[in-house]
A and B are shown apart, each in its own frame.
Chain A
């Protein structure tokens, strides 16, 4: 159980949060103009890497805000957290 430093509330237990999968996947602005393959790429394709991963997390049992987390999936170390809309840190 790790500790997550919510950018709005501070450090809290993981049990207060829920994970939202890979970060920085933007919903296409004009979905109707996409081919099946392009839409499938957005809809289904997610990375699941061993190592440093950019993820979305939600403080669901707290402030209910979504934010981004940079986490190393091999040891659960969280390198940084940042708000939605902020630029991701360079690896």
Chain B
């Protein structure tokens, strides 16, 4: 046992030594220690360097509010984790932790030079400095900022740990397992309500559980003993679930909360293996009781950030909970009574200490107790400076003037090896405000407390601004009874003794003889913002707290200003001469403490990251070495490289084969919507631009669908299967949205129509066989089918059978070639496909993917919705006026087709482009101009599709160009990085303008 482990407690298991490494050096602690308590027991205070000035920093707190003691855990590329608070991390065998933000090491850090030049880097330094010259930005400023930005290092390899999500529903959720949380949970659970109690610590009990002072008694026992009994009792209650090591990360509306449960972070490397590391609980609770307590405030004075300066109550917890003395000669600097508890506790363990109190005196019981024990108290004094580079070694104090605005008398210098500071207590209102709650300012205690919002949420205990034991118990019991509409009498005759604080004196920025500009009075320790920065921001005209926050970065570090926000507000209010309550606060946002990405994504990683849709023919594509392309959630064959072909070579071969003999495409992913009802024809009339009433049964028609704004939305072929029965196809990516849009109109605008829509995309597989030999292949598969042009013309369909399985054969063309599409029940898709491949073997039937399909369509000038259109193209822009019915009274988008904007002549319109050098292939997305000499250069449009056509043996492209319709034959320029490419505007149809191939 080290000299600093001065006291045995039940929370530290001294029979179990735990060895760990910090910055490469071996240490040991005991089971139950946090990294912080173990390091303190080893006399280590210095933990890291501060963000901006690289000042040495030590452990400051004992919980989630810690700004300084943040570490990098593990040096493995996949497991390493930055910004872990040493005050929360329980040590385990094999733990390796490292200090952050210092190089080459924490004791000697090159960046420390920033501290010396700090007068040169005030608030807003970046905004003011990195403005000019403009040319410096890319080469000098940005790399420099990036190098110094950020805390810690990110892992560079995937996280091997397992994470989990869980959904739960409770009647009551209690956040915080301190005194008021335990009472609340017990009352709720005993009233037959299914209750969940969560606490981020390993053990329940909050700060009461290590309370050892005689001034705080419940039913004549120490409050800690009484609470232990309560904790034992609640563990017996059946409908109460207690989750420790579980921290609420976010509190959303409608009592939806996210909590992170740490399952293995405290286990040894060996025991962690193959277990779920963290679990994200998604909680819906009918009622939420917030009992998150309060955190101690620091005090703001010169050099208040040295290692060895801790919050006073944290010194108390390290002593009474972990048995660790933070020093051997401790000074406590306070403006309230709580530091007296620390002083008395230290005194009892024989640790030398004295108190510096801002107040003129304190008449409370606990202050008297301290005086009676002979603890020296400097009333009406203020610490004005501290000394010691890597650890505090002395302080300077002076007397305060009556008004507290200045110091008087002589400096007193005192030696110490640890300074405890306490500026009062801040209720943890994070949960309340995250859920949308507002705050009230309570002047007596200078705290913000929750404003009650509705009947599903309540804050009790210290987070509600109730600080003394008697008030906490009394108010908690009363409020919970009303909140849960019950009448619990368990605590009716409880007898509470406690010391009550009588004097208060709060000074946000403590006075000093040294001018503020020459002091370092830290407010935000993690982001290194000082009182000077706040005052500078105000001087420069910033008024809103939100602006001051961003300009000075106060409260914007990973601790979200848990310690700093109140002082920033206080100093702004004092300087601007306004009341605290009128300033408002900044918004607390989730997560309360940082979450690992692993916890957020849970099991949704790797192949579970996104839903993948595969056609029934997928395995064949895999077996035949297809490369796949993602289209929405679908995996579609992109191209099928043979014998080490490049993509270009494969696509050229596929495209040629499809036009020369036969190609086959898996078209199963196209959206299919079954439309039935007596008004089906009328419905199609209203949703497509062209007319549908006269389409005879057995015939197919291409349709273009617009948005109400007149812009092309989707396209596809629809087949009339029967009088009142159609099968609509949509684009692959648009299927779900088209169905949604059609349902919307049917349900809301045209409820009188008798129409039923069913998505049948997954029900049928589709093989599309095209090319001059396709008829012969189809004939081999369906010998009974009469394929003559008279019986089975283009744009018609036949019902037939394949080995007794029903199929639909449609003579429709995707590519401009003679083509047949066979639809069959999905489970037979692969067998149909293989039959086509076998039948087509003698004709060199060539499977082709989406790339070849796009190329073949581009040759014919067939648009790809989403590639050649982008939501700003009307049918007329696409030169597709032929598909817009002039006769129909109305259809979706019709009225928009003659708005002043849509009839403009100079809209961007679809054209073909031919490169002067037929071998030159344009880049899709490339800009198009007509003149590169006049600046600024006038941008006319861009390339939408571009390919080398093997069938035309030249490069072809589709593009949208301003006033393009009237530009046929005009020369344009595509400026690229190294050259200009000359092109000529052409017709959009490059191949077979007469459509002869459809009937070849």
Contacts and interface: CB of A to CB of B under 8 A. Distances in A.
B708 interface: yes
A38 B444 CA distance: 59
Contact of A34 (B253, B748, B895): B895
B748 A66 contact: yes
B900 A66 contact: no
Contacts of B896: 39, 43
A75 B436 contact: yes
B256 A36 contact: no
B254 A76 contact: yes
Nearest to A27: B749
B899 A84 contact: no
A40 interface: yes
A9 to B, nearest CB: 15
Nearest to B746: A66
B447 to A, nearest CB: 24
B966 to A, nearest CB: 25
B821 to A, nearest CB: 28
Choose among B436, B748, B749 the residue with the greatest number of A CB atoms under 10 Å from its CB: B748
A66 B744 CA distance: 7
Contacts of A2: 253-254, 256
A26 B749 CA distance: 7
B415 to A, nearest CB: 56
A79 interface: no
A10 interface: no
A75 B253 contact: yes
A80 to B, nearest CB: 16
Contacts of B900: 36
A2 to B, nearest CB: 4
Given A43-B708, A58-B740, A32 B254 contact: no
B609 interface: no
B744 to A, nearest CB: 6
B186 interface: no
Given A32-B895, A85-B751, A58 B254 contact: no
B541 to A, nearest CB: 28
A51 interface: no
B252 A56 contact: no
B877 to A, nearest CB: 18
Interface string A47-73: 000000000101010001110000000
Given A66-B747, A85-B751, A76 B253 contact: yes
B890 interface: yes
Interface range for A? 20 to 34
Nearest to A85: B751
Given A43-B896, A58-B744, A85-B751, A31 B890 contact: yes
Given A39-B896, A39-B899, A43-B709, A32 B743 contact: no
A39 B900 CA distance: 11
Contacts of B254: 1-3, 76
Nearest to A66: B747
Nearest to B894: A31
Contacts of B436: 75-76
A64 B899 CA distance: 33
Contact of A64 (B743, B751, B894, B895): B743
Contacts of A39: 895-896, 899
A84 B748 contact: yes
B889 interface: yes
Interface in A74-91: 75-76, 84-85
Interface string B249-279: 0001110100000000000000000000000
A32 B893 CA distance: 11
B748 A56 contact: yes
Contacts of A30: 890
A65 B882 CA distance: 36
Contacts of B748: 56, 66, 84
A20 B749 CA distance: 13
Contacts of A27: 708, 749
Contact of A32 (B253, B747, B894): B894
Nearest to B250: A1
Choose among A26, A31, A64, A84 the residue with the greatest number of B CB atoms under 10 Å from its CB: A31
Given A2-B254, A75-B436, A20 B744 contact: yes
Contacts of B709: 43
A29 B887 CA distance: 17
Contacts of B895: 31-32, 34, 39
A29 to B, nearest CB: 9
Given A39-B896, A76-B253, A76-B254, A32 B749 contact: no
Contacts of B256: 1-2
Interface in A3-33: 3, 20, 26-27, 30-32
A32 B899 CA distance: 11
A56 B745 CA distance: 13
Interface in B167-195: none
B899 A40 contact: yes
Choose among B254, B436, B890 the residue with the greatest number of A CB atoms under 10 Å from its CB: B254
Interface in B722-773: 740, 743-744, 747-749, 751
A3 to B, nearest CB: 5
Contacts of B252: 1
A32 B744 contact: no
Nearest to A4: B254
B740 A32 contact: no
Nearest to A30: B890
B894 A84 contact: no
A74 to B, nearest CB: 9
Nearest to B736: A60
A34 B896 CA distance: 11
Interface in B484-514: none
- Which A-B residue pairs are the 4 nearest by beta carbons? A31-B895, A2-B254, A1-B256, A66-B747
Given A26-B749, A32-B895, A76-B254, 13 more contacts: A2-B256, A20-B744, A31-B890, A32-B890, A36-B899, A36-B900, A39-B896, A39-B899, A60-B740, A66-B748, A76-B253, A76-B436, A84-B748
8 contacts: A1-B253, A26-B749, A32-B894, A36-B899, A39-B895, A58-B740, A58-B744, A76-B254
